[in-house]
Structure 1
Amino acid sequence: MDWIMLIIAGAGEVAGVMGINQVNKKKNFASFVLLFAGFIISFLFLSLSMQTISMGTAYAVWTGIGASGSVLVGMLFFGESKDWKRLFFILLIISAVVGLKLIS
C-alpha cells in the first residue's frame, strides 16, 4: 500500500506541474485548482508513504515519477519534442526508480 501511495504522490506531482503550465497559459480558476490540488495530493501521499518507505528512496522515486511523467505529458499534450534522446533519458530515470523499488 505504501508504494501505491507513492505512485499517487508522483501522479499528483505531475498534475501540479500541469497546473503550473496551465496557469502560465491562462490564469483561470480551473488552472489554479489543478495546480493546488495536484501539489496537495502529492505532498499528502508522499508524507504517508514515508511512514514505511525510507526518506531517500521515497524522495528519489517521487521525483523520478514527477520528472519523467511531466516530460511525457509535455510530449503527449503540449507539443514538446519527442526526440529519441529525451526518451532514452526518461527510460534511464524510470530504470533507476524500478531499481530502487527492487532493492527496497
Structure 2
Amino acid sequence: MAWILLVIAGIFEMLGITCLNAYVQRRQMRAVFGLVVCFGLSFIALSIAMMSLPMSTAYAVWTGIGAVGGALIGMIFYHESKDIKRVLCILVILGSTIGLKLVS
C-alpha cells in the first residue's frame, strides 16, 4: 500500500509541476489553485507512505517519479528538447528509481 501511495504522490508532484508551468506561461489563478491542491495531495500521500517506507527511499523514489514525469510532460506537451543525451539521463533516473524499489 505504501508503494502505491508513493506512486500517487509522484503523480501529483508531476501534475503540480505542470500547473506551475501553466501559471508561469499564462498567469492564470486556476493554475495556482491546481498547484496548491496537487502539491498538497502529493505531500500528504508522501507522508503516509513514509510511515512504512524509509525516508531515504521514499524521498528518492518520489523525486525520481516527479523528475522523470516532469521531463516527459515537458517533452510531450511543451515541445522541450528530445535530445538523446537528455533521454539517456531520464532513463538513468528511472533505472535508479526502479532499483531502489527492488532493493527495499
The TM tier, using the shorter chain, reads over 0.9
TM (normalized to structure 2)? 0.96
Letter of the structure 2 residue corresponding to residue 39 of structure 1: F
Q: Distance in 1 between matches of 2:65 and 2:33?
A: 21
State the partner residue of 2:100. 100
State the partner residue of 1:26. 26
Q: Distance in 2 between matches of 1:22 and 1:28?
A: 8
Structure 1 stretches of at least 4 aligned residues deviating more than 3 Å after TM superposition: none
Identity of aligned residues (%): 46
Q: Distance in 2 between matches of 1:24 and 1:30?
A: 12
Q: Distance in 1 between matches of 2:17 and 2:11?
A: 10
Letter of the structure 2 residue corresponding to residue 49 of structure 1: A
State the partner residue of 2:84. 84
Count of residue pairs brought into register by the alignment: 104
Q: Distance in 1 between matches of 2:38 and 2:81?
A: 24
Cα deviation, residue 97, structure 1: 0.5
What does 1:24-103 correspond to in 2, within 5 Å?
24-103=24-103
**What are the superposed Cα offsets for residues 31-66 of structure 1, whole Å, 9 maximum, x if unpaired?**
112211110111000000000000000000000001
- Structure 2 portions without partners, runs of 5+: none
Q: Which moved more, 1:11-20 or 1:25-34?
A: 25-34
Q: Distance in 2 between matches of 1:24 and 1:103?
A: 38
CA contact (8 A) 1:18 1:34 kept: no
- Structure 1 portions without partners, runs of 5+: none
TM (normalized to structure 1)? 0.96
Q: Distance in 1 between matches of 2:78 and 2:34?
A: 16
State the partner residue of 2:4. 4
Tell me the C-alpha RMSD between the 2 structures. 0.8
